[in-house]
Amino acid sequence: MVKSTFLATAIVIMSLSVAVGQNKPTGLLVNLIANTESANASINSKNPLFSWIVSGKANATRQVAYQLIVSDSFSKAEKFEGNIWDSSKQQVDSSISVTAKGLTLKPSTTYYWRLKTWSNTRGESDWSDIKGFKTADKLTENGVSAEALVKTRQQASMVKRLSSELSFIDFGKDAFAQLALKLTSKNGGDTVLVSFGEALKAGRLDANPGGSIRYQKVKLPLERGTKIYQIQLKRDERNTGSAAFLMPDYIGEVFPFRYVEIDSYSLSLAKDDIQRDMVHYPFDDSASYFKSSNDTLNKIWDLCKYSIKATSFAGVYVDGDRERIPYEADALINQLGHYGVDREYSMARKSVAYLLEYPTWPTEWILQALIISWNDYLYTGDKQLLESSYQILKNRTLMQLRGKNGLISTTSSLQTPDFAKSINFNGKIRDIVDWPLSETDGFVFNEYNAVVNAFYYKALVNMKLIAQVLEKKSDQEFYEEQAGEIKTAYNKVFLEGKTGLYRDGEVTSHSSLHANMFALTLGLVPETNRDLVLSFIKSRGMASSVYGSQFLMESLYDGFEGNYARKLLTDGGIRSWYNMIRVGSTITLEAWDNKYKPNQDWNHAWGAAPANIIPRKLMGIEPIAAGFEEVAIMPQTGDLEEAEVLMPTIRGSISLKICNKKVYTLKVILPANMRGQVFLPKLDGKALVTCNGKRIPFQPIPGKPFLNAGKIESGSWTFTMRQK
């Protein structure tokens, strides 16, 4: 009896301990930075913004108040002394991008902060863990902060002896990395040949892989005894030039490789003798997952998720290893993919800020700055970037290039030096449509380009939204009016009445996939033409580059063609993500295959569109209100029997699981301080819908194959749907 009582008491104490540990804010961010205590990370703004995840799994949990303190020492923070700043108890539900009014940071100073919250279901929380952060040597009003790059030490997954003096090493996946070897020489003076690269040929490291697929050989003189040798990587002239984004001194040069061969070395090698340091932005591998009843889809998700991590080596979104230059198109796909696989927002913010200052030459990519900037706000709820960049964003709408028909053209005399200066560019911008140009589905370039003007329309729409957020009412009304006029002009000029399709330009009869898919996903197609446009898009298949596939997928899902979109996602042909796996790459390629771009590289994250398409479109999780205050759940899993995803957000992770067998079941878990709107796929005939076991009313959505199942609060909700 005594023993049983003791055990029961121990269980109670342990349970209380777990409960206390869980009842505290987590996921603390300062200016979107999580790893603030890293030696090479710093806050660059005088006015920091704080974010956190509210604890509590009970349904409808919402924060009702918080108290946040900032101290100048860890010991003071331990004692709950906010000697630098103390918010006192604030009766608000804000948990993201919270301004510390009255707090102004000093440069080159270390601070410590923590907070506690009150919620409607759990009352007062425990205090959070203490987080430290250091300010930069120079601070600005709204400076962009960034994480420091990290090195992850990795062992080889395989070491194989090919001959008496040749060893072959496989690390399992490609990575931007550095290599260290522990080698022994009896007398010294002998030389070992170390080769490393990305591709194989006949079971050996391919010394001539072609294009920008990487291979390098180094002669390594050995000293007497056993020593650890850090391989000195050769710098590439192209990706370390004046336009490239250079590696910081605290990291050093990196090289992408998966395989290593060590020649002219007769001693045996153990896995511990070969170390690879993978360089990347801080990344939480557990922050997201996806699995489904389609194994090919699962493999493609894994490929694309890893690609986002592996290509973060530069600290900003770059095009790949060939140039290491930030481009807007790469940044857009990288940004959405990063949001889909990790609770990380600072790398996107840094990349956007860089590209607003240093734009690239394609017209459409100049315009994409408005999309990227709006995404930044939509996913973070932080409007600092919009405020500090408002004028340059207005200029990046390219309204300065309007012709008499209201549309824009880059072939007119309006491309003046003053225009170039207004967008921070040196030279003249040019239309691109897709890249390489052989991937444009025969697009016919005209003075007025349908793809360019679709992005122009979207830029005006986004500028209206930005002006609305910043409470600039006259600008909001102006851009709304301009967008309406452009939509009318666009359809008058490019929409062919006889076919119901969009022409590439004003004086051609050619209709490409690109003219139509961009018109659809960027919001220009009238309802009366949607079916015709969608049918045409489907008839063209994957007639775009890996970059264009981002917008092709969006157009299909926006047109509610989920099953066909998934068919393209999982296709096994040469123009597919599965082909990237088949050729041996573990990071997405720059093009579908060497056939389509002979100089391509094997480490290009703009090929990783499924990293965002799967959670955003296939699983249907997208923010309705900024900072995921409200989220839409509108899955298009179609005839997939099972699919589940964990998607990170700034407020915490969303879990969604769908089972589509005899009964359609959707289980969603929203983090505290979030609301949702659930949409279920429409069934043939009458349906019976329940939520958490209770029958609920629903409303068909006109023009969409969905039922509106209503709004939900945070917590766990299980919807079932069956035919009556």
pLDDT tens, 547-589? 999 999 999 999 999 999 999 999 999 999 999 999 999 999 9
Pick the CATH number of 150-280 from 1.10.357.10, 3.40.50.620, 2.170.190.11, 2.60.120.260: 2.60.120.260
Q: What does the block give as tokens for 147?
A: 């994480």
Residue type, 209: P
How much is the average pLDDT of 625-647? 97
Q: Which residues of 276-286 are buried (b: 16+ CB within 10 A; e: fewer)?
A: bbbbbbbbeee
Helices 363-380 and 328-341 cross at an angle (nearest 10°) of 20
Cα angle: 449, vertex 454, 457; to 5 degrees: 125
What CA–CA distances, in Å, run from 661 to 87, 641, 643, 709, 719? 52, 6, 12, 19, 14
What residue has token string 């999580």? 34
What residue has token string 């605290």? 250
Dihedral angle at the C-alpha atoms of 591, 593, 599, 602, nearest 10 degrees?
70
How much is the average pLDDT of 311-338? 97
**Cα 377 to chain center, whole Å?**
14
* Confidence band of 104 (pLDDT split at 50, 70, 90): confident
Q: Which residues of 185-214 are buried (b: 16+ CB within 10 A; e: fewer)?
A: beeeebebebbbbbbeeeeebbeebebbbb
Fold annotation for 25-140: Immunoglobulin-like (2.60.40)
Q: What is the C-alpha R_g of the chain? A: 27
- Per residue, the 3-state secondary structure of 620-649, as one string, reads CEEEEEHHHCEEEECCCCCCCCEEEEEECC
Contacts of 440 (CB under 8 A, 6+ apart): 433, 434, 512, 514, 544
Instruction: Specify the pLDDT at position 21.
Output: 54
User: Which of 571, 714, 553, 575 lies closest to 636 in space, CA to CA?
Assistant: 553
Instruction: Specify the pLDDT at position 101.
Output: 87
SS3 563: helix
Q: What does the block give as tokens for 316?
A: 């900003």
What CA–CA distances, in Å, run from 251 to 219, 458, 628, 667? 22, 39, 35, 44
Contacts of 5 (CB under 8 A, 6+ apart): none
- Quick one: CA dihedral 580, 581, 583, 584, positive or negative? positive
pLDDT tens, 286-310? 999 999 999 999 999 999 999 999 9
With contact defined as beta carbons under 8 Å apart, do 587 and 310 qualify? yes
Instruction: Specify the pLDDT at position 495.
Output: 98
How much is the average pLDDT of 64-84? 97
Rounded to an integer, what distance in angstroms lies between the CA atom of residue 185 and that of residue 226? 7
What are the sequence ranges of the domains in the chain? 25-140, 150-280, 285-570+588-603, 630-723
Instruction: Specify the pLDDT at position 38.
Output: 74
Q: What does the block give as tokens for 476?
A: 């909001």
- pLDDT of residue 48 exceeding 60, the answer is yes
User: Which of 716, 49, 59 lies closest to 380 in space, CA to CA?
Assistant: 49
With contact defined as beta carbons under 8 Å apart, do 192 and 146 qualify? no
Instruction: Domain 630-723: give its CATH architecture.
Output: Sandwich (2.60)
Fold annotation for 285-570+588-603: Glycosyltransferase (1.50.10)
Residue type, 379: Y
What CA–CA distances, in Å, run from 590 to 294, 321, 432? 25, 10, 16
- Give residue 544's region: left, alpha or beta (phi > 0; psi -120 to 50): beta
What residue has token string 């709408």? 397
Instruction: Specify the pLDDT at position 18.
Output: 37
Cα angle: 77, vertex 79, 82; to 5 degrees: 50
- How many Cβ atoms from other residues are within 10 Å of residue 691's Cβ? 17
Share of the chain above pLDDT 70, in %: 97
Q: What does the block give as tokens for 692?
A: 């958490």
- pLDDT of residue 183 exceeding 50, the answer is yes
With contact defined as beta carbons under 8 Å apart, do 180 and 277 qualify? yes
Contacts of 331 (CB under 8 A, 6+ apart): 317, 348, 351, 352, 355, 368, 372
Instruction: Specify the pLDDT at position 383.
Output: 96
With contact defined as beta carbons under 8 Å apart, do 467 and 476 qualify? yes
Q: Which residues of 22-39 are buried (b: 16+ CB within 10 A; e: fewer)?
A: ebbbebbbbbbbbbbebe
Rounded to an integer, what distance in angstroms lies between the CA atom of residue 420 and that of residue 442? 29
User: Which of 674, 696, 678 lies closest to 687 in space, CA to CA?
Assistant: 696
Residue type, 531: D
- pLDDT of residue 47 exceeding 90, the answer is no
Considering all CA atoms of the chain, what is the largest pairwise distance in Å, rounded to the nearest integer?
94
With contact defined as beta carbons under 8 Å apart, do 500 and 529 qualify? yes
With contact defined as beta carbons under 8 Å apart, do 624 and 639 qualify? no
pLDDT tens, 334-379? 999 999 999 999 999 999 999 999 999 999 999 999 999 999 999 9
Rounded to an integer, what distance in angstroms lies between the CA atom of residue 597 and that of residue 246? 25
> What mean pLDDT value characterizes the chain?
94
pLDDT tens, 10-41? 323 333 333 445 799 999 999 999 987 777 88
Q: Where are the alpha helices (DSSP H) in 396-449?
A: 417-422
* Torsions phi, psi for 319 (to 5 deg): -75, -15
Residue type, 317: Y
Helix then strand then coil, in percent of the chain rounded to 5, is 30, 25, 40
**Would you call the peptide bond into 436 cis, given omega within 30 degrees of 0 as the criterion?**
yes
- Per residue, the 3-state secondary structure of 304-373, as one string, reads HHHHHHHCCCCCCCCCCCCCCCCCHHHHHHHHHHHHHHCCCCHHHHHHHHHHHHCCCCEHHHHHHHHHHH
Contacts of 53 (CB under 8 A, 6+ apart): 25, 26, 27, 95, 651, 652, 671, 672
Share of the chain above pLDDT 90, in %: 92
- pLDDT of residue 3 exceeding 70, the answer is no
